[in-house]
Amino acid sequence: MANVAHSETSTPVVRRRSAVQKMLENPSMWRGIVAIILFMVFWEVGARFDEWFGKEWTLPFVGLIPPPTDVFAAWLEIIPKAGYWDSWIQSFKRVLTGFGVAMILGIPFGLALAVNKYFRDIFFPPFEILRPIPPLAWVPASLIFWPTNEMSIAFVTFLGAFFTIVINVLGGARTIDVRYLRSAQSMGASQWDLFSKIIFPGTLPSIFTGAAVGMGITWEVVLAAEMISGGGTQGGGGLGFFIWNSYMGGSLTQVVVGMISIGIAGYISSSAIRWLGDVMMPWRRLF
Amino acid sequence: MNMTTPNATMKQNSAPIVSPGNGSPMGGALSIKNLTKIYDPEGVNVCAVDDCSMEIAAGEVCMIVGPSGCGKTTLLNAIAGFHSITSGEIRLDGDLLCGPGKPKAEQGADRMVVFQNGALFPWKTLAENVAYGPIVQKRMSKSEANDKAEHMLAEAGIGEFCSKYPGEVSSGMARRAEIVRALINEPKVLLLDEPYRAMDALTKSIMHESLLETYDRTKVTIFFITHDLEEAIFLGDKVHIVTTRPCSLKKTVDVNIPRPRTYESLSSEEFRTLMEEVNEAVHEEAVKAFQAGERELA
């Protein structure tokens, strides 16, 4: 048995680098940083054109929004304020509630649709009729049939993520390579083994794709719902309300602060999902 | 996805498990008699296998050679219990697998399949993949199965890759691990469906040596589908050449090159004569298949 002789078995020794080192040595990261700085510079210059050359030099679009330095100043001003962080917490709470419930209900529902023909025959058609309805179209109806504003926001948020997750889980579970199922069955796997050790891990990548997309939709819906329902009165704040309130108060810098805050919040959320995906799917994190 | 298939009721032989390594008479004689399989998609009858009979002795390496899309895989699927048959029968050591009144064989660990492009579970490490069978059969505890898996992988020369995922190793190693995964279930028959199809000649030759070495150790019956004539003669005790669709046995060529075989056997006079014989028979069928415009059925 010749085995050691084959070059495929001898792995070269790779110098282990820390995550920070890797990041610093990565040219993509530096390009990204330069791109962000350039973007800021253009924005700053574009926004201040009229200040420097007179009113007739106001540039379209970029000339009408506050420059980044002003935004930054406004941000520094509100960072110590509890109200601003309360908006973060409110929005995050809603996103996590809606998203969490959508995952808890959506994953089993999608898997059940995938593995059981009868279940699919019965539940898939109504699901497909409800799915194309945009979550925001549910806002008036949900305001009517849920007792509190908070619950209607949570419900609409849930809808945003639910359909995406279910469709992804269903698609993922139904496209599992039949050879995996056959070999597991040949080896004597029970129905439960098949489900828990083959179908579920085989569907995980699709679950996380669905989760990533669903998380994006969730943020959109939460923000819109917060603006529409006038969160402050009884639903209570949130970043969407923060933006709307700042707009009503005529503070354009705060509107931009709110927008960037949402960008960051969304980034944190999708990073968390990516991280969770890496933890749960070590086989996808090769090398 | 067919989830309603009754779970493979394992032919759990209560006899003590024969540990591979002593060339034990594990059985594994396959008898295929007058097998016919007609696919009926949308009312158009397609005859994939027509009155095909062959006898495979226990512990024999039996190579099935035939043109693309001729129904070789249908044959394998029938033995493995993935598909039903239309008529005829298949017996394993005299026991009926499928036949009149029982169109579909039960899937079982006595017939393990190694698939064309590899079907190791990507979410399990090589060792976990190998240990899966004994664990779900509740034949071994988790740690026993893992020890055994690591031991067998080491025997196959890939012990140091036990904790790698299939996506991290070369296709050659993955295929070797897959054969180990099949063997840990102590099958009577190993069903291989063009396992080395997409590999380059060099990797293939290593795979062949490794398979022969495994065979010498376990003496398991091997049912091996291939296109590659050299492979067929190099590995096989018998080469069954089958016709283009519908598939039936055209000719059986006995390979009397003594074992253990090495790559030097390839250049022997004997080998060349056999090659010509097989080539002639296969070429005829290939021409027929080509003229019929046969597409791969997969």
Residue ranges of domains in chain A: 83-284
User: Which among A118, A182, A207, A280 is the top mutation candidate for probing chain B, defined by the most B β-carbons within 10 Å of its own β-carbon?
Assistant: A182
Cα separation, B142 vs B89, whole angstroms: 38
Tens-place pLDDT, residues A76-97: 988 888 888 888 888 898 899 9
Which residue in A134, A135, A109, A107 sits closest to A124, CA to CA? A109
Q: Does B218 touch chain A (CB under 8 A)?
A: no
Q: Above 70 in pLDDT, residue A235?
A: no
Tens-place pLDDT, residues A90-126: 889 889 999 999 999 999 999 999 988 899 999 999 9
pLDDT of residue A15: 64
Cα separation, B259 vs A18, whole angstroms: 52
List chain B pLDDT tens, one digit each, 298 residues.
444 444 444 434 434 343 333 333 567 788 888 888 888 766 677 777 888 888 888 888 888 888 777 778 888 888 888 888 888 888 888 787 787 887 877 787 788 888 877 888 989 888 889 889 888 888 888 888 888 888 888 887 888 888 888 888 888 888 888 888 888 888 888 888 888 887 888 888 888 888 888 888 888 888 999 888 888 888 888 888 888 877 777 778 788 877 777 777 778 888 888 888 888 887 877 777 777 765 544 3
pLDDT of residue A133: 92
* Burial bucket for residue A56 (CB in 10 Å: 0-12, 13-18, 19+): exposed
pLDDT of residue A4: 43
pLDDT of residue A164: 92
pLDDT of residue B31: 83
Window B:233-292, CB contacts with A under 8 Å = none
* Helix residue ranges, H only, B44-97: 72-80
Poorest-confidence range of A33-47, A225-239, B100-114? A225-239
Residue A194 and residue B3 in contact, taking contact as beta carbons nearer than 8 Å: yes
Among A174, A181, A187, whose Cβ lies nearest the Cβ of B185?
A187
pLDDT of residue B20: 39
Phi then psi for B50, rounded to 5 degrees?
A: -130, 110
Q: Identify the residue whose tokens are 């690591």.
A: B150
Chain B nearest-CA residue for A202: B123
Residue B256 and residue B79 in contact, taking contact as beta carbons nearer than 8 Å: no
Q: Above 90 in pLDDT, residue A35?
A: yes
Q: How confident is the model at residue A162 (pLDDT cuts 50, 70, 90)?
A: very high
Query: Average pLDDT for residues A176-182, to the nearest whole number?
Result: 89
Poorest-confidence range of A56-60, A192-196, A212-216, B6-10? B6-10
Q: Above 60 in pLDDT, residue A225?
A: yes
- Distance set, CA A102 to CA A165, A216, B229 (Å): 7, 13, 55
Cα separation, A62 vs A222, whole angstroms: 27
Q: How far apart are the first and last CA of chain A?
A: 29
pLDDT of residue B11: 39
> Per the structure block, which two tokens stand in for B25?
């008479």
Minimal CA separation from A194 to chain B, in Å: 9
Residues of A in contact with B173 (CB under 8 A): 8
Cα separation, A248 vs B1, whole angstroms: 55
pLDDT of residue B216: 82
H or E element that contains B224: strand B221-226
Helices A252-280 & A200-228 angle (0-180, nearest 10): 170
Residue A200 and residue A135 in contact, taking contact as beta carbons nearer than 8 Å: no
Enumerate residues 6+ apart whose C-beta is below 8 A from B186: B17, B18, B20, B26, B109
**What is the topology classification, in CATH, of domain A83-284?**
MetI-like fold (1.10.3720)
Q: With DSSP H G I counted as helix, E B as strand and the rest as coil, what are the percentages for chain B, rounded to 5? A: 35, 20, 40
User: Which among B11, B112, B130, B132 is the top mutation candidate for probing chain A, defined by the most A β-carbons within 10 Å of its own β-carbon?
Assistant: B132
Residue B145 and residue B128 in contact, taking contact as beta carbons nearer than 8 Å: no
Q: What is the DSSP letter of B294?
A: -
* Beta-carbon separation of B122 and A283 below 8 A: yes
Q: Which CATH architecture has domain B30-110+189-291?
A: 3-Layer(aba) Sandwich (3.40)
Q: Above 60 in pLDDT, residue A152?
A: yes
Cα separation, B30 vs B91, whole angstroms: 6
Higher pLDDT, B70 or A170: A170
pLDDT of residue A165: 93
Which residue in A132, A137, A130, A129 sits closest to A156, CA to CA? A137
Query: Average pLDDT for residues A54-83, to the nearest whole number?
Result: 84
Chain B nearest-CA residue for A184: B133
Count of C-beta atoms within a 10 Å radius of residue A237: 19
> Per the structure block, which two tokens stand in for B23?
């060339």
Among B8, B109, B123, whose Cβ lies nearest the Cβ of A201?
B123
* Beta-carbon separation of B108 and A204 below 8 A: no
* Beta-carbon separation of A187 and B170 below 8 A: no
> Per the structure block, which two tokens stand in for A261?
């805050």
Looking at this protein, which amino acid is placed at residue B219? K
Residue B90 and residue B32 in contact, taking contact as beta carbons nearer than 8 Å: yes
Count of C-beta atoms within a 10 Å radius of residue B239: 27
pLDDT of residue A170: 93
Instruction: Read off the pTM.
Output: 0.76
Task: CATH 3.40.50.300 in chain B: give the residue spans.
Answer: 30-110+189-291
* Beta-carbon separation of A1 and B1 below 8 A: no
Tens-place pLDDT, residues B77-118: 888 888 888 888 888 887 877 878 878 777 877 888 888 778
Enumerate residues 6+ apart whose C-beta is below 8 A from A20: none
Q: Does B180 touch chain A (CB under 8 A)?
A: no
> Per the structure block, which two tokens stand in for B160?
């140091």
* Beta-carbon separation of B1 and A6 below 8 A: no
Cα separation, B192 vs B114, whole angstroms: 5
Cα separation, B151 vs B142, whole angstroms: 14
Chain A nearest-CA residue for B77: A182
Residue A21 and residue A29 in contact, taking contact as beta carbons nearer than 8 Å: no
Minimal CA separation from B25 to chain A, in Å: 22
Residues of B in contact with A179 (CB under 8 A): 115, 119
Q: Identify the residue whose tokens are 């700085």.
A: A37
pLDDT of residue B8: 40
Residues of B in contact with A183 (CB under 8 A): 112-113, 115, 119, 181
Looking at this protein, which amino acid is placed at residue B259? R
Among A9, A182, A186, whose Cβ lies nearest the Cβ of B160?
A9
Cis peptide before B246 (omega within 30 of 0): yes
